[in-house]
Amino acid sequence: MPTAKNQRTCLAIVLAAGKGTRMKSRLPKPLHMIAGRSLLAHVLNAVAIAGARDMAVVTAARHGPVAEEVERIVPEAQIFEQRKRRGTAHAVLAAKCAIKRGADDILVTFGDTPLIRPSALASLRAALADGASVAVLGFTPADPAGYGRLVIVNGELAAIREENDATPEERRIPLCNGGLMALAGDKALDILERIDDANAKREFYLTDAVAIARDMGLKAVAVEAEENDVRGINTKAQLAEAAAALQHRLRAAAMEAGATLVAPETVFLSADTKLGSDVVIEPYVVFGPGVVVEDGAIIRSFSHLEGAHVGKGARVGPYARLRPGADLGQEVHIGNFVEVKAATIEARAKANHLTYIGDARVGAGTNVGAGTITCNYDGVAKHKTDIGEGAFIGSNSALVAPVKVGDGAYVGTGTVVTKDVPAGALAIARTPQTIKEGWAKRLREVKSLGKNSKARKKPKA
Ligand code: UD1
Ligand code: MG
């Protein structure tokens, strides 16, 4: 009895054993980043949304960093090693133990195809639910050269013909193989174990699953996706192209959700960036991972945000840097050349110019003057600065942590605060000013005398 569509179980197998030599990098290909996430993380995220509860990742032998990334993102995923690279079907079979667990649907995805959308994977699963044993993701590229062509007969997928083996007529088929496919769990092993390496490359091709399924009297179908969904990455140039395509999607989604992007093509988002409605993002803003901007906040030009939370109606920038752990309350103002790290800035507090706030709390309504620095690091450890509510920190102050400034306290301009300041008190630590009447005038008179004059000495104070 086939299970109802929404109850079907799903195993996703992610092939990530590629050498990625054309990336010319020490970093394994699946760990390259776009939009703040590794290629592998994008794929794992998509298969999870498409309903895969069981995940298997196939890595090359001794690919520790890839395995670490899998463990970081989906700790329950199982990792399999493909010791020798002998083709895509061979790689899928490395996860044989997982296949044997008997999921209804098996999704085969690639660790270098990060733009795959959950909806495309869901269409593959729907095709299985409708009775197909193999469902292949097809696409119609502007230039089909190099891709396998999908041969459709009577609405079913008859074969995947690699370009080298195709007749001139078959080469005119616009629908190409995107590489990703879904297999019915109860047929998968039977199909996969019949695939051989009788081809020029002596590899076990997953694409052969189509013809084999047909020979077994099973149904194979093609599901069409956008070219971007199946965009594979082999080079740094393709990495940049995929990043650009993803930015396009993310910007469109942010605007759809009600954010105003004044010049969308200059704003760089992370896959997990969350922008509320009526948020305004001015031109040239970069979002690293982990940023949430609440409704009505404005991020002005040339700001960089990462791991930060921006409260409702807050104003950030221009030229601000919010680093991980920056948490801005409602209507906070963080202005130009202000850096905030691991610090909570409570509602309506302001730091408008040239300031570093790290490992700190700034209480509600407090004003932090220009050039204020929290000296959080003593060369060995980090320490906390705690500033209460409604306080006033004069310009060019240094707060040497650990230190506390109480509610409503004042810190005089230029003070180096090394001891706690009680609530409502004034702390001031600077050399008292002296006035020397007429000194400047006397200096100019002396300077204007002849070069060789003996009187060319500075006036006495
Ligand atoms: C594959 C398809 C091709 C399709 C193209 C779309 C096959 C045989 N061919 O070709 O029809 O048009 O994708 O981009 O499937 N991998 C392993 N172990 C292996 C071999 C590959 O893990 O032994 C992984 C790679 O890391 C990669 C994925 O499988 O993530 C696809 O392999 P790749 O060599 O890129 O296949 P293509 O030649 O691009
Ligand atoms: Mg490829």
The mean pLDDT of 392-401, rounded to a whole number, is: 98
Instruction: Write down which residue in 196, 211, 230 finishes a domain.
Output: 230
Is the pLDDT confidence value at 391 over 90?
A: yes
Q: Is 89 contained in some domain?
A: yes
Ligand 1 in contact with 15 (CB < 6 A)? Answer: yes
Tell me which residue has its CA closest to atom 4 in ligand 1: 179
The mean pLDDT of 275-295, rounded to a whole number, is: 98
For residue 230, which ligand has an atom nearest its CA?
A: 1
Q: Is 254 contained in some domain?
A: no
State how far the Cα of 381 lies from the Cα of 404, in Å rounded to an integer: 17
Of all atoms in ligand 1, which is nearest to the CA of residue 59?
22
Q: What is the pLDDT confidence band of residue 113, given thresholds at 50, 70 and 90?
A: very high
In this structure, are 419 and 449 located in the same domain? no
Instruction: Write down which residue in 230, 248, 274 finishes a domain.
Output: 230
Residue 18's pLDDT is what?
79
User: In the chain, how many domains are there?
Assistant: 3
State how far the Cα of 12 lies from the Cα of 54, in Å rounded to an integer: 6
Ligand 1 in contact with 36 (CB < 6 A)? Answer: no
In this structure, are 409 and 441 located in the same domain? no
Q: What is the pLDDT confidence band of residue 1, given thresholds at 50, 70 and 90?
A: very low
Q: What are phi and psi of 149, to 5 degrees?
A: -95, 145
Instruction: Write down which residue in 179, 196, 230 finishes a domain.
Output: 230
Are 282 and 301 within 8 A, CB to CB? yes
Range of the domain at 449: 436-461
Model confidence pLDDT, tens digit, residues 63-82:
899 999 999 999 999 999 99
Model confidence pLDDT, tens digit, residues 291-326:
999 999 999 999 999 999 999 999 999 999 999 999
Q: What is the pLDDT confidence band of residue 162, given thresholds at 50, 70 and 90?
A: confident
The mean pLDDT of 415-427, rounded to a whole number, is: 98
Percent pLDDT > 90 in the chain is: 90
Mean pLDDT, the chain, rounded, equals 95
Is the pLDDT confidence value at 149 over 50?
A: yes
State how far the Cα of 41 lies from the Cα of 71, in Å rounded to an integer: 11
In this structure, are 407 and 459 located in the same domain? no
Q: Is 191 contained in some domain?
A: yes
Q: Is 343 contained in some domain?
A: no
Q: What is the CATH number of the domain that holds 105?
A: 3.90.550.10
The catalytic residue among 32, 90, 333, 353 is 353
What is the CA(333)–ligand 1 centre distance, in A? 50
In this structure, are 367 and 445 located in the same domain? no
What is the CA(110)–ligand 2 centre distance, in A? 8
Ligand 1 in contact with 144 (CB < 6 A)? Answer: no
In this structure, are 414 and 447 located in the same domain? no
Quote the DSSP letter at residue 366. -
In this structure, are 400 and 451 located in the same domain? no
The mean pLDDT of 213-240, rounded to a whole number, is: 96
Q: Is 255 contained in some domain?
A: no
Model confidence pLDDT, tens digit, residues 378-390:
999 999 999 999 9
More confident residue, 458 or 374: 374
Model confidence pLDDT, tens digit, residues 173-203:
999 999 999 999 999 999 999 999 988 789 9
In this structure, are 371 and 223 located in the same domain? no
Are 306 and 288 within 8 A, CB to CB? yes
In this structure, are 67 and 121 located in the same domain? yes
In this structure, are 373 and 224 located in the same domain? no
Q: Is 201 contained in some domain?
A: yes
In this structure, are 412 and 453 located in the same domain? no
The mean pLDDT of 21-38, rounded to a whole number, is: 95
In this structure, are 406 and 452 located in the same domain? no
Q: Is 110 contained in some domain?
A: yes
In this structure, are 99 and 140 located in the same domain? yes
Per DSSP (E only), the strands in 307-443 are 309-310, 315-316, 321-322, 326-328, 333-345, 350-362, 367-368, 373-375, 385-387, 392-393, 398-400, 403-405, 410-411, 416-417, 426-427
Ligand 1 in contact with 268 (CB < 6 A)? Answer: no
Ligand 1 in contact with 22 (CB < 6 A)? Answer: no
Catalytic site includes residue 90: no
Q: What is the CATH number of the domain that holds 408?
A: 2.160.10.10
459: number of Cβ within 10 Å: 16
Of all atoms in ligand 1, which is nearest to the CA of residue 146?
12
State how far the Cα of 121 lies from the Cα of 203, in Å rounded to an integer: 26
Q: What is each CA distance from 8 to 51, 116, 221, 280, 327, in whole angstroms?
A: 9, 21, 19, 42, 41
Ligand 1 in contact with 87 (CB < 6 A)? Answer: yes
Mutate which of 88, 160, 170, 201 for ligand 1? The one with the most ligand atoms within 8 Å of its CB, which is 88
Q: Is 251 contained in some domain?
A: no
Query: pTM of whole model > 0.75?
Result: yes
